[in-house]
Amino acid sequence: MAELTITKENFEKEVLESQTPVLVDFWASWCGPCKMLGPVISEIAEEHPEIKVGKCNVDDEMDLASRFNVMSIPFVAVFKNGQLVKSTVGYQEKESILSLLND
């Protein structure tokens, strides 16, 4: 499944109301580590159809970034049942990101 673009307009429906876990990558186009992480996030989206994967550009969606206290990027967050349950900051290997999805 391809990554979704997460915006304030679709955040509630795609993330908070999702029946499946949602992995959201908060990123920016000028961020070097974000550019490195992008292909990893894409791989996860393609290889794991059981989860929803979204990308939220912090420059375009400052309110969402602020809502979740995103101070540094990339900021990867996992939402389950409408709640932020885990997050990590900075470039991470794929296995490390996938481990965030485990209970």
Catalytic site residue 56? no
**Pick the catalytic residue: 6, 15, 22, 31?**
31
Tell me which of 6, 22, 23, 34 is the catalytic residue.
34
Q: Which residues, other chains included, contact 74 with Cβ-Cβ below 8 Å and sequence gap of 6+?
A: 25, 26, 27, 31, 33, 34, 37, 89, 90, 91
Catalytic (active-site) positions: 31, 34
